[in-house]
Amino acid sequence: MAYYPILFLLFLTLPFSSAKLSLDYYKATCPDFDKIVRENVYTKQSAVPATAPGLLRMFFHDCITDGCDASIFISSSAYNPHAERDADLNLSLSGDAFDIVSKIKNALELSCPGIVSCSDIVAQATRDLVKMVGGPYYKVRLGRKDSKVSDAKRVDANLPTTKMTMNQIIDKFAVKNLTIRDMVALTGAHTIGFTHCKEFIHRIYPIIDPTLHPKLALGLRQMCQNYTLDTSMAAFNDVRSPSTFDNAFFKNILKGLGLLTTDYLLSVDPRTRPIVEEYAKDQQAFFIDFAKAMEKVSVLGVKTGHKGEGVDAGRKTLVATTILLFVLSGPVKALTYLMEGGCHGLERAAVAKFP
């Protein structure tokens, strides 16, 4: 049969990875990387404006948990029943965020098969989306490998939540070598996107939190009154310019227009209020600090060398699974699986079911 040499050739074309991050990592191996990411980002964001905040949130959740390693893409399976993707804090991650990464990966596979890691796609696409909606440009170093491990327990252990005190949040960031200033700047990402009612319902029911702006509180009460019947109900984080990356979030929280309790704490805590006031007055200062903080986050816990799986091992997993499917189920199912491998097969290999 002609299928065996096709599958064998896939092994021969697997790339080797460098152990060092660089700005031009794909210059020789995938020269159209920047262009392909940028074009797909533009198309997706133009059609679905929720893509930018969705991927920005996914990027943060992935990187803060155990490093920027695309472990969020590994699905739970019989062998790994509780992957990061199924952690409570990740259940509301945007489907459009997963979709844009998949679209970019598929396009890259046509241009430079087996070269680009999922984690590099997430980092680069996030930067391009932030810039597209009005935010600052920052450098993204490339060459990450993707994780072989994904554990839901690590999400709760690492991610800050909206129910934490300011001390707890500051401590969470400090563990990642992120300063209070970094934390405030990164929270400014709430200038785009939305928050589901369940995250702030305690501020409007049964009584209204007096620190909320009265008009906002009444509007939220009306909007969220049936949130238990429709869990998708949500409010824009920034009531002024919800689709534009700017400094309006900081202006809002100083006026009681923040949705979350943590927004209020940010505006009154003596360690953070001066920074909030600075950003509210000076958008450029916010942009500069946000860019610096994003560069720091983008290299948290990155896997290089033999520390991660990367595209080479990820594709080996995909190809090995494809060959097994070929033997057990025939060429049609095997090649269909291969063509739909998505982010180099990390996710599909985890959920493969054999007859």
- Residue 304 assigned to a binding site: no
- Reading the block at residue 221, the tokens are 């009460």
Residue 20: C-alpha distances to residues 25, 84, 315, 344 (Å): 9, 26, 20, 21
Annotated binding residue 84: yes
Residue among 81, 93, 84, 120 nearest 104 (CA): 120
Give yes or no for a contact between 121 and 188, defined as CB atoms under 8 angstroms apart. Answer: no
124/303 Cα distance (integer angstroms): 16
Annotated active-site residue 61? The verdict is yes
- What amino acid is encoded at 337 in this protein? Y
191 is in an annotated binding site: yes
* Ramachandran angles phi, psi of 56, nearest 5°: -60, -40
Instruction: Inform me whether the pLDDT recorded for 332 exceeds 60.
Output: no
Q: Residue 190, annotated ligand binder?
A: yes
Per-residue confidence (pLDDT) for residue 77, from 0 to 100? 82
Residue 238 labeled ligand binder? yes
- On whether the CB atoms of residues 245 and 135 are closer than 8 A, the answer is yes
65 near 154, Cβ under 8 Å? yes
What confidence score (pLDDT) does residue 329 get?
A: 64
- Answer yes or no: are the C-beta atoms of 85 and 97 closer than 8 Å: no
Q: How much is the pLDDT for 13? A: 38
Q: What is the pLDDT of residue 306?
A: 57
The response to whether 202 counts as a known ligand-binding position is no
Q: pLDDT band for position 355 (50/70/90)?
A: very low
Q: Are 241 and 140 in contact (CB under 8 A)?
A: no
User: Among residues of the chain, what percentage have pLDDT more than 90?
Assistant: 75
The tens digit of pLDDT for each residue in 158-201 reads 999 999 999 999 999 999 999 999 999 999 999 999 999 999 99
For the stretch 64-95, pLDDT in tens is 999 999 999 998 888 788 999 999 999 999 99
Distance separating alpha carbons of residues 96 and 99, to the nearest angstrom: 5
- What does the pLDDT average to over 216-245? 94
Domains in the chain with CATH codes: 21-156+302-351 (1.10.520.10), 161-296 (1.10.420.10)
Q: How many CA atoms lie within 13 A of 3 on its CB side?
A: 15
pLDDT at 94: 94
Residue type, 70: A
Given a cut of 60, is residue 125 above it in pLDDT?
yes
Q: Is 187 exposed, middle or buried (0-12, 13-18, 19+ CB in 10 A)?
A: buried
Q: Note the pLDDT of residue 20.
A: 86
142: β partners: 22
Write the pLDDT tens digit of every residue in 231-251. Answer: 889 999 998 899 999 999 999
- Specify burial of residue 179 (Cβ count, 10 A radius: 0-12, 13-18, 19+): middle
Q: What angle do CA 146, 20, 303 make, to 5 degrees?
A: 25
Global pTM reads 0.84
* 217 band by pLDDT with thresholds 50, 70 and 90: very high
Asked if pLDDT for residue 346 goes beyond 50, the answer is no
The residue with greater pLDDT, 124 or 313, is 124
Question: From the candidates 61, 202, 213, 344, which is the catalytic residue?
Answer: 61
